[in-house]
C-alpha cells in the first residue's frame, strides 16, 4: 500500500468511526465536576431519599475518592464488571467503600438501582 492509499484508508476509518458513534447516538463520556455530580438525583422519590441519606455523602465529594455520581469516565470501567459484581462489592464493602454503602435500610434491589443511577445508566442507558 502506497503512503497515499494508506492516508485515504485512515481517513475512511476515521469517518466510519465518527458515523458509527453518531449512529449509536452516544458521545464519548466527559468528566463531571463535584457540583455537576451533586446536582443529580434519582427520578424515583424513594430512591432519591435513600441516595440523599447515604451514597451522596461520598459519591459527590472528590476528596472521598469515591467515583462521582454520573461521571461515566469513572463509572464505565466499573459498569463493565457487571451489575452482580458491583452489587456484591456494595453489600460486602471493598477498598474505601464501606459495606452497604452505609445505607442500612437498602435492600439488594435498592442498591442495584442506586448503582445504576450513579453509573449514569438510569433509564436503561
Partner 1 sequence: MTSRRKVLLGGVGALALGAGGLAGRRWYLSREPEARPAIDGQGRVLWSNWAGNAHSYPAKRVAPASEADLITAMGGPKPIRPVGSGHSFTALVPTEGTLLSLDRLSGLVGHDPEKLTATVRAGTKLSALGPALAAIGQEMPNLPDINKQTLAGGLATGTHGTGKGVKALHGEVTAMRLVLPSGEVAECSRDARPELFHAARVGLGAFGVISEVTLQNRPLSRVKKIVTLVDTEQMLRDWPALAQRHRNAEFLVLPFTGKSALITHDTTDEPVRPRGADQDVETLMALKNLRDLFEFTPALRRRAAQAAMADIPPEVAIDEGWKLLSNERPVRFKEMEYHVPIAEQVGALREIIARIERDAPGVFFPIEARIIAPDDAWLSPFYERECGSIAVHAWYREDHDWMFELAEPVLRETGGRPHWGKLHSLGAAELKALYPMFAEAQAVRRSADPAGRMLNPFVKKIFG
Which residues of this protein are in contact with partner 1, per CB under 8 A?
A: 49-50, 53-54, 57-58, 61-66, 87-88, 91-96, 98-100, 102-105, 107-108
Closer of 66 and 113 to partner 1 (Cβ)? 66
What HEC string does 45-68 produce?
HHHHHHHHHCCHHHHCCHHHCCCC
The CB-of-16 to partner 1 minimum distance in angstroms stands at: 41
The CB-of-64 to partner 1 minimum distance in angstroms stands at: 5
The CB-of-34 to partner 1 minimum distance in angstroms stands at: 11
- Note the Cα 25 to chain centre separation in Å: 17
User: In this structure, are residues 119 and 75 in contact, taking their beta carbons and an 8 Å threshold?
Assistant: yes
Tell me the CB-side half-sphere exposure of residue 88, using CA atoms within 13 A.
5
Closer of 51 and 75 to partner 1 (Cβ)? 51
Amino acid at each position: 500500500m502506497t503512503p497515499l492509499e494508506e492516508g485515504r484508508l485512515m481517513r475512511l476509518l476515521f469517518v466510519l468511526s465518527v458515523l458509527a458513534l453518531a449512529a449509536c447516538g452516544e458521545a464519548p463520556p466527559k468528566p463531571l465536576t463535584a457540583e455537576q455530580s451533586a446536582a443529580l438525583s434519582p427520578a424515583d422519590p424513594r430512591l432519591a431519599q435513600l441516595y440523599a441519606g447515604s451514597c451522596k455523602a461520598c459519591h459527590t465529594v472528590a476528596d472521598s475518592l469515591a467515583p462521582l455520581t454520573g461521571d461515566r469516565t469513572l463509572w464505565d470501567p466499573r459498569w463493565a464488571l457487571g451489575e452482580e459484581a458491583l452489587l456484591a462489592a456494595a453489600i460486602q464493602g471493598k477498598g474505601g467503600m464501606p459495606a452497604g454503602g452505609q445505607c442500612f435500610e437498602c435492600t439488594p434491589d435498592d442498591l442495584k438501582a442506586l448503582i445504576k443511577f450513579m453509573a449514569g445508566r438510569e433509564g436503561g442507558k
